[in-house]
Structure 1
Amino acid sequence: MSSSNCDSIEQIVNQFKIGKKIDVYYNLANPKDFALIPDPPSSFFIFITAFSVLAIGFFLCAFILDY
């Protein structure tokens, strides 16, 4: 493991000290599905959105210039 990975892991572990109260995020339908740190917005979702907007823009430009 690289030192940057170890530093990241240490930062996460240090957030959860023994005796400290924390929030636990869980799925009501399946409580075994839980997380201590909620997922941030996916960069993949942002990429797909940007790609879709660009694709529609190119399609519209091609359609308009064709007339």
Structure 2
Amino acid sequence: MIRNSTAATPGRGLVGMRERVAAFDGELDAGPHPDGGWRLRAVLSARAADPARRDPAQGDR
């Protein structure tokens, strides 16, 4: 769903996105796009996404 960026919506925006991506050992890059608008790039760790590949020392997140 696309929401109006000026509307008051619940959530924590980019801060919440960064926290969720970090929970999967990922990185989030966001900012203005050179051609206008906004860009968002998230890279998630396959190790964190696959329970069979997780490091047991890290435990569940």
- Give the TM-score category using the shorter length: under 0.3
Please tell me whether Structure 1 or Structure 2 has the larger radius of gyration of its CA atoms. 1
Higher-RCO chain (CA-CA 8 Å, sequence separation at least 6): 2
Question: Greater share of strand residues, 1 or 2?
Answer: 2
